[in-house]
Amino acid sequence: MNVVDPIAAEATKLFESVYGGRPEGLWAAPGRVNVIGEHTDYNEGFVLPMAIDRYTVVAAAKRTDGRLRVVSSAGDQRVIEVALDDLTPGFPQGWTEYPAGVAWALRGAGILQEGFTGADLAFVSTVPVGAGLSSSAALECSTGLALAGLAGAEAQLSTADLARLSQYAENNYANVPCGPLDQLASAFGEDGRVLFIDTRSFEIAPHPFDLAAAGLTLMVFDTKVSHDHGESGYPARRASCEKAAAVLGVRALRDLTAADLERAERELDEVTARRVRHVVTEDERVEQFVSLLTEGPLEGERLRAAGDLMTASHASLRDDFEVSCEELDVVVEAALAAGAHGARMTGGGFGGSAIALVDVGDAERVAESVLAALPQAEIFRAIPARGAHRVA
């Protein structure tokens, strides 16, 4: 059975019990793991995410009274209701900002027009919420597809627009200044592939990432922690990157290379120069990782080099960008000590999840080592999965 089917069955059940009647359709969007390329997306640089086999599914039906109702199995299962005409950034507050924001963005873009008079949405998800695996993007992208589907406007909503409008909603309605990485990964994910994305041009090059064929597995370790300073940490990093780009006279840090780092050190304060060094070296690591994937299967020297790039990415995020935390560092160290080829935090940091590239035969030992170091960690294996799509 397909991993989406049982979630879709749950979403249908939730819809029926809350709203009565049958949903008109079901839409799914996945979470993601970023293999490498962290904090580069808002610097117009490179990222290498894959959608994972964890999905948010929404069961949905149209309404005729101009109202939007939402319920999620993840929350307190309270139905929240708002008139489409009352949608305004930040309202209604809480998790509803994400689906309401998408409805608002689709209306603003003219994809939902006058004839669209409301909807009932019921969400069920297997994406861990707030774990750095993009449950927010899964929520947005599933909402976007569902609303366009109900309105008969699928053809007007390209996959790139789904990602763009979802990011727009998160930035401008939920007031989270994220880059486009999460939404692009959730929208464009492909079975068995990682996505090499240029976040300036939105050019996307999928690369085969058949880990099982190479005897490998990608392990995810949810640390279950989210440190408060993350709230201000992310916007502060972003602001610091934008300031550095302005001082150095480039449109975005993506326009710098290693040759510019000396000048960055001269012209910026010590901390900001380290932030720049992370972004510049991280972009290079993504390109190197993609070169390795292009050369052939991940084995031997190539596998060693790919693992080293992931681990170097973690060190850079920890030391230069300072967005890791003790729990993430402990998990990465434990995975490496037990034989992982490479390990790193994934997502924005300050808590959330880490990943490791591991020989299938070592997975159990790595899991034991991680649990010994951080007993609360939740561990699973992720495979590259299909992006947002209509289920039924």
Residues at the contact surface with ligand ADP, assessed by CB under 6 A: 56, 72, 74-75, 95, 98, 123, 125, 129-136, 139, 347
Q: How far is the CB of 137 from ligand ADP (least distance, A)?
A: 6
Q: How far is the CB of 289 from Mg ion (least distance, A)?
A: 23
Report what 98 binds from ligand ADP, Mg ion, none; CB cut-off 5-8 Å by kind.
Answer: ligand ADP
Distance CA 347, CA 233 (A): 13
Q: Toward Mg ion, which CB reaches closer, 323 or 357?
A: 323
Q: Toward ligand ADP, which CB reaches closer, 73 or 117?
A: 73
Q: Which two tokens stand for residue 124?
A: 């069920």
Q: How far is the CB of 212 from ligand ADP (least distance, A)?
A: 26
Inter-residue contact 315 to 69 (CB < 8 Å): no
Alpha carbon separation from 23 to 147, 150, 190 (Å, rounded)? 13, 10, 27
Q: How far is the CB of 88 from Mg ion (least distance, A)?
A: 22
Give exposure, 291-308, as e/b (b: 16+ Cβ within 10 Å): ebbeeeebeeebbebbbe
Residue labelled with tokens 């962290």: 38
Report what 95 binds from ligand ADP, Mg ion, none; CB cut-off 5-8 Å by kind.
Answer: ligand ADP
Alpha carbon separation from 49 to 65, 118, 185, 319, 332 (Å, rounded)? 40, 34, 6, 22, 19
Q: Toward ligand ADP, which CB reaches closer, 123 or 168?
A: 123
Dihedral over Cα of 329, 331, 333, 335: its sign: negative
Q: Toward ligand ADP, which CB reaches closer, 342 or 348?
A: 348
Distance CA 11, CA 27 (A): 10
**Interacting residues with Mg ion (CB under 5 A):** 136
Report what 347 binds from ligand ADP, Mg ion, none; CB cut-off 5-8 Å by kind.
Answer: ligand ADP
Distance CA 210, CA 297 (A): 9
The dihedrals phi and psi of 87, each to the nearest 5 degrees, come to -60, 125
Q: Where are the beta strands (DSSP E) in the chain?
A: 25-36, 46-62, 67-72, 80-83, 118-125, 193-198, 203-208, 216-226, 342-346, 351-359, 378-382, 389-390
Q: Toward ligand ADP, which CB reaches closer, 77 or 257?
A: 77
Q: Toward ligand ADP, which CB reaches closer, 353 or 369?
A: 353
Report what 139 binds from Mg ion, ligand ADP, none; CB cut-off 5-8 Å by kind.
Answer: ligand ADP
Q: How far is the CB of 92 from ligand ADP (least distance, A)?
A: 12
Report what 311 binds from ligand ADP, Mg ion, none; CB cut-off 5-8 Å by kind.
Answer: none
Catalytic positions are 182
Contact partners, residue 46, CB within 8 Å, separation at least 6: 37, 40, 196, 197, 198, 199, 254, 283, 286, 287, 290
Report what 167 binds from Mg ion, ligand ADP, none; CB cut-off 5-8 Å by kind.
Answer: none
Q: How far is the CB of 210 from ligand ADP (least distance, A)?
A: 26
Inter-residue contact 158 to 179 (CB < 8 Å): no
Dihedral over Cα of 82, 84, 86, 91: its sign: positive
